[in-house]
């Protein structure tokens, strides 16, 4: 599991990454693990300033206060089409909150569509 612990990065590097994704209108995978809820979605970063990020997806908006978090960057495993395989490995920016909650933001998490089965002609 240590292979997926991530490497600590400086706060200004994390905010530069968030700002770059915002400016590029890069869709990011959002995974939040908390004591009272888990959230898995895709969205665009609408704002990244003053210790807070705001994300907008096709059906929802979310805001996270990142003041006091520890940032890490590195590989993690996720299952983008749960419960269908496969598990994929991606690089993610992780924010670890003092209370034990985690937020992972990953570019390239958009799963490719599963094609519909087709009946062979003949």
Q: Is residue 66 part of a domain?
A: yes
Number of domains in the chain: 1
pLDDT of the residue at 122: 58
114 inside domain: no
Whole-prediction pTM value?
0.79
- 32 by DSSP, 3-state: which? strand
pLDDT digits (tens, 9 = 90+) for 70-113: 999 998 887 766 667 777 888 899 999 999 999 999 876 655 55
Q: What is the pLDDT of residue 46?
A: 96
| pLDDT over 70 at 52, yes or no | yes
The mean pLDDT value of the chain amounts to 85
Say if 112 falls within a structural domain. Answer: no
Domain presence at residue 88: yes
- Looking at residues 20-49, what average pLDDT do you find? 91
- Does residue 78 lie within any of the structural domains? yes
Per the structure, the complete domain to which residue 14 belongs is given by 2-107
CATH code of residue 59: 3.40.1570
**72-108 burial, b if ≥16 CB within 10 A, otherwise e?**
bbeebebebeeeeeeeeebebbbbbbeeebbbbbbbe
Does residue 122 form part of some domain?
A: no
Q: DSSP labels for 36-98?
A: S-EEEEEEEEEEEETTEEEEE-SS-EEEEE-TT-EEEEEEEEE-TTTTSSPPEEEEEEEEE-T
Question: Which residues partner with 28 through β-bridges?
Answer: 43, 107
What is the pLDDT at residue 1? 42
The answer as to whether 116 is a domain residue is no
What is the rounded CA–CA span in Å between residue 81 and residue 4?
Answer: 20
Tell me: pLDDT of 6 over 60.
yes
CA–CA distance from 73 to each of 26, 58, 108, 112 (Å)? 17, 26, 14, 24
């Amino acid at each position: 599991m240590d292979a997926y612990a991530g490497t600590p990065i400086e706060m200004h590097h994390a905010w530069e990454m968030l700002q770059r994704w915002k400016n590029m209108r890069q869709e990011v995978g959002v995974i939040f693990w908390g004591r009272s809820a888990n959230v898995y979605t895709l969205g665009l970063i609408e704002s990244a300033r003053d210790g807070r990020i705001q994300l907008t997806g096709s059906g929802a908006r979310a805001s996270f206060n990142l003041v006091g978090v520890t940032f890490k960057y590195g590989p993690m495993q996720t299952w983008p089409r749960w419960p269908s395989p496969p598990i994929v490995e991606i690089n993610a920016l992780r924010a670890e909150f003092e209370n034990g909650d985690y937020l992972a933001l990953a570019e390239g998490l958009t799963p490719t569509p599963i094609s519909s089965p087709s009946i062979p002609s003949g």
